[in-house]
Amino acid sequence: MKSLLLLLIPLYVLPLVVHSDVVLTILIFTFLLGILAVGFNIVFGGAGQLTMFHAAAFGIGSYVTFLSMLRFGIPFWLGYCVAVVIVVLVSIVIGWICFKFRLKEFYFAVVTLAFAELCRLVALNWTSVTNGTLGMLVLEKPTIWLPGSGIVRIEQTTSWYFLSLVALSAILVFSVLLMRSWIGRNFSAIRLNEDLAQTLGIDTFRYKLLAFTISNVIASFAGALYGFYTGYIEPAYLAVTQSLDAIAMVLLGGVSTIMGPVVGALVLTSLPHLIELPAEMRVAVYGMILILVILLMPRGVVGLFRRPRHAA
């Protein structure tokens, strides 16, 4: 926990030194996608369940938050609460189906992927509500209450920087607390040997469902912020590529480590900007770097420095 806080402090003072909008924007995307990756790491790196649903949860987070703000005229955070309720319900239904039928590994991945596609098709084809392929422009901004200055709209790059950094920090602190608690220990037990976990009295069904739900709620949080930051929500948020990106971030940074997903998010969001090549070449080089890194560092960047963090 202490080392986590020490790692985060430099990020809080960074905008005082660096004024480049490009750097801050890359970091905002890093933080927002980092939240998605940290969420995925809880269900995959923690409980060992290869879900493909997190992009759908990400998309549901942005769509439902925005649509409920439009329909009910409520502020961003209340709109997000509606999204949480829906994501929790959806996760419980899908998780219940998958875990009751004891789907594991690739079977679980394929079925969750099918459910995610189902959600994407709803976003794509329910044009009267979601505006279909065209997506929706989001002109509303989240507001927060700050002591001294009252209610503030989050508009400028620096405000977004701090909002997304605080959100990421909160999620990271939560994930440290979670992974070192009995819940995290039970997740590890399920990942490493589910049959043994059961004979030790762990209700593996319940804990897998919990891991799946927590990670989807975190993904929806990332999605809600992401949609409002970019000012645009489209069905591609729910696409499989979005899920794969988060998986690549976790693999790259280090599975089952706390900071790994964030490191992975940083590499994957900044790399395309660092490679100064024509766009088509850039994607190919980017893909090759990704493949090489995953082959050469099977435990990710963070894994070079420490062994995976388990229940200790």
What are the residues binding other proteins (CB under 8 A)? Answer: 177-178, 180-183, 185-186, 188-189, 192-193, 195-204, 308, 310-312
Nearer to other proteins, 4 or 122 (CB): 4
Shortest CB 104 distance to other proteins, Å? 17
Shorter beta-carbon distance to other proteins: residue 188 or 220: 188
Let me know: does 219 contact 61? Beta carbons within 8 Å.
yes
- Nearest 5°: the CA angle 285, 106, 242 is 40
Tokens describing residue 218 = 């975190």
Instruction: Give CA–CA dist 88/116, Å, rounded.
Output: 15
Residue among 151 and 312 whose Cβ is closer to other proteins: 312
Least distance (Å) between residue 211 CB and other proteins: 15
Q: What's the half-sphere exposure (Cβ side, CA atoms, 13 Å) at 53? A: 33
Sign of CA dihedral 206, 210, 212, 216: positive
Smallest distance from other proteins to CB 256, Å: 10
Residues in the chain: 312
| CB nearer other proteins, residue 3 or residue 193 | 193
Least separation, in Å, of the C-beta of 307 and other proteins? 8
The two three-digit tokens of residue 147, written as one number: 């002591």
CB of 203 to other proteins, least distance (A): 5
Burial 213-226 (b: 16+ CB within 10 A, else e): bbbbbbbbbbbbbb
Beta carbon nearer to other proteins, 195 or 280: 195
